Structure 1
Amino acid sequence: MTDPAALRPVSPDEWPAFAQAMSDVFGEEMDSSFVERPPATAELDRTLGLWDGDRVAATSGVYSRTLTVPGAVVPCAGVTWVTVSPTHRRRGVLTAIMRRQLTELHERQREPLAALWASEGGIYGRFGYAPAALRGNLTGRTRRTAFRPGVDLGTGTVTPVDVGAYRAAAPRVHEALRRWVPGALERDERWWQRLLRDPADRRDGATARRYLLHTEADGTVTGYAAFRVRARETADGEPDGTVLVDEVRGRGTPAYAALWRYLLDLDLIRTVEYPHASADEPLRHLLADARALLPRPVDGLWLRLVDVDRALSARRYPTPIDLVVDVRDEFCPWNEGRWRVAGHPAGGYCGRTDLDPDLVVDAGALAAAYLGGVSLGTLHAAGRVTEVSPGAVALAATAFSWPVTPWCPDPF
């Protein structure tokens, strides 16, 4: 077992070796600028590295993010850059990294939640993480994407713009919308800069990223979209291009629908792909043909409740709840035990109690249900939740739900 104390933050001078270690394990060629110096989003004091002589054998980092949860916005530790060299596997290194991160978050009373994007699905469940927001992976043939009669496209205008105009207008729309969607993350200047990077060697045969703005008659920007096009032909010379959609956001149905109509009507395009769509993307409900776009949902954002009391007190509950939950959490023992969870649409409370439990739930199941995208009833059916008081599962499943499907289009 590796001693968590052997892990330490990386210094600026050590960054190139740290970045190269990530590149080696991920099996991808990092941009030279990334290897040479930390990116603007890096927080070196929140990194952890394990050194074997002059060589970096393991890496990890944390971003200080802000996450939308049901009814609130909460600080969240964005876990990233987690690698362990093949020479140091099966020695407890990853466990030491996870334990060190979560213990420091708890002891320093920093973020009550931690989140990550998992490179492999079987790794992080044993540390109390669980998929809490799916990505929809929408695909379809554009010729079948006619809208239902009566869809309101409004009177605004969709205009192709350069990256400068997009960068000036899109953040305001994003900020207005992201506070209503559980799983959404803030984007400050650093994150917009990262999002808009477009190196030619990462385009996989597609065009440079293209941008759209939706503008009302008074000049107000009410929507934006980012996309690429990959041109190709069939064997008999017919056009068979693909529009690769990065993001589409609109402040209201007309702006959203008009942006999609532009994308779906592009010349020479026959297929649309939207990997980071919401698992319940509204576009599907605009279509006359319900089978025109096929979702293939996969896990997106994984969540971990660092402190059960702070996390459950932070979110809101659409219906009243007052239950005792017995939490099982071997990896973070400070969460073990019985908690009274009370809440309603205006606030929440969670504190220690000696009362008999209504539910018994493991930490991963609680994390899966936290954003409202996974039902506690489903987790009960899977054996992850034990009902002690009759009706407690139905009450908790209703109170932990949320009207807006969790969605995070920002891998980190």
Structure 2
Amino acid sequence: MADDLSAQLRPITADEWPAFTRAMHTVFGDPLTGPYTETVPPVAELDRSLALYDDGRIVATSGLYSFRMSVPGAVVPTAGVTWVSVSPTHRRRGVLTAIMRRQLTELHEQEREPVAALWAAEGSIYGRFGYAPASWRGGWTGEAGRLRVRDDVDTGDGRVRLVDAEEFRPAAARVYEAVRRWVPGNLVRDDRWWGRRLLDVPEERHGANERQYALHVGADGEVDGYATYRITGTFTAAGEPESTLTVEEVRATGPTAYAALWRFLLSHDLVRTVAAPHASSDDPVRHLLTDPRALHAHPVDALWVRVVDVGRALAARRYPAPIDLVLEVRDAFCPWNDGRWRLSGHPAGGYCGRTDRDPDIVLGIEELSAAYLGGTSLAALQGAGRVTEVSPGAVTLASTAFGWPIAPWCPDEF
């Protein structure tokens, strides 16, 4: 039945966008707000959308974005899965399976992106299609009065300036481009995506003020860091300030600018709580504080990854430690991946191709996808019984080779 449904899926036209987005928002229970409810947003790629019609009504939606994503030591074309919804009138009919199969099959047959990624609305949905959490958000909060930067932290001789969005955007883009390639999971942001990133719709502020833009200017006069944040101003019944400062993003090309930006963010008056819901799971800010316990992290899965083509995906990334092993990959949903692959890699490059040699490790596509960005240990997955070691020591070797010094992080939801 899924194959029949797959054939019925088709891309939408610009005229169909309002009905398409209404169908999607209805499923998610989101209010229709913002400037793109009736007109197609600049980041949309309608030729990569899919809709299912029933009696003239859209009952399922999906789409893909053409991304380039940083992975360990490289940048890899990545299909960003988005807009996925199925009307409650058409649940349990194989519609989602048809969408996933259509997307992944076309990516493979057209030799497009070897990797796909998404943000999962529910944690139990996408594992059966081979997706797995490959990055985490630290999601921390803290009492402002206890969040103080250590006295011995060097914040340099630069200064922090509050600017408008027009001045902020080109300077921040230069900083982001300088740092994103080192962080697996970071996406290349072109002008369209910077426009989306900085879109500030009043109806979507949820009681906060307009976004604030800060630039750090080094002693040499060059911008070397930036931060964006909002403040939700509230007071207690007794008239005491009880505001929350929500940090959206802090990036810098060096530790001095990074520390200076955090000292600035943690020095706001009238703020009782600081929150960084989208922070990296290994954000260095914890190591800047006089009291590390003042920061309360609430880790949650972030970007989910799916290896679409094993050979191309594993050959595209780099490996900080040498590896030469045979992986037996189990992938029932994408049978072109099923089988044995010889992976040979090192810091300068990699090779991955079919082999008939005996396997050193046996694992499923979920486990391989979880480890792809270097943030999930194959040894941890082995401990959970999800990776089988055939050759003694193979999992230790592979865990080291697949790892990366910086935890994967994707600050861009799509």
- One fold, TM greater than 0.5? yes
Return the match for 2:245 from 234, 243, 246.
243
Return the match for 1:81 from 74, 80, 83.
83
- Counterpart position of 2:71: 69
Deviation at 1:268, TM superposition (A): 0.6
Deviation at 1:147, TM superposition (A): 2.1
Name the % identity.
64
Deviations 1:279-300 (A, max 9, x none): 0000001112110111111010
- Counterpart position of 1:99: 101
- Counterpart position of 2:218: 216
TM-score (norm 1): 0.99
Deviations 1:256-295 (A, max 9, x none): 1111111101011121000100000000011121101111
In the TM superposition, 1:129-144 aligns within 5 A as: 129-144=131-146
- Counterpart position of 1:123: 125
Name the CA distance, whole Å, in 2 between partners of 1:273 and 1:32. Answer: 25
- Counterpart position of 2:230: 228
- Counterpart position of 1:260: 262
Number of aligned positions between the proteins: 412
- Counterpart position of 2:185: 183
Deviations 1:164-215 (A, max 9, x none): 1111211000000000000000110000111111111111111010110000
Amino acid of the structure 2 residue aligned with 1:328:
R
Name the CA distance, whole Å, in 1 between partners of 2:356 and 2:146. Answer: 59
Deviation at 1:23, TM superposition (A): 1.3
Amino acid of the structure 2 residue aligned with 1:12:
A
- Counterpart position of 2:363: 361
Q: Kindly report the root-mean-square deviation, in angstroms, between the aligned alpha carbons of the 2 structures.
A: 0.9
Residues 1:400 and 2:402 aligned together: yes
- Counterpart position of 1:27: 29
In the TM superposition, 1:367-382 aligns within 5 A as: 367-382=369-384
Secondary structure of the residue aligned to 1:33 is coil
Deviation at 1:145, TM superposition (A): 1.7
Name the CA distance, whole Å, in 1 between partners of 2:288 and 2:134. Answer: 26
Deviation at 1:16, TM superposition (A): 1.4
- Counterpart position of 1:298: 300
Deviations 1:10-69 (A, max 9, x none): 011211111111111111122363221210001111001000121001000000001000
Secondary structure of the residue aligned to 1:342 is strand
Residues 1:276 and 2:278 aligned together: yes
Instruction: Decide whether the 8 Å contact of 2:33 with 2:204 is kept in 1.
Output: no
Name the CA distance, whole Å, in 2 between partners of 1:147 and 1:273. Answer: 16
Residues 1:6 and 2:8 aligned together: yes
TM-score (norm 2): 0.98
Name the CA distance, whole Å, in 2 between partners of 1:195 and 1:30. Answer: 19
Deviation at 1:149, TM superposition (A): 3.4
Return the match for 1:200 from 202, 210, 213.
202
- Counterpart position of 2:337: 335
Name the CA distance, whole Å, in 2 between partners of 1:85 and 1:235. Answer: 44
Please identify, of 27-36 and 351-360, the stretch whose mean Cα deviation from structure 2 is larger. Answer: 27-36
* Unpaired runs of at least 5, structure 1: none
Amino acid of the structure 2 residue aligned with 1:114:
A
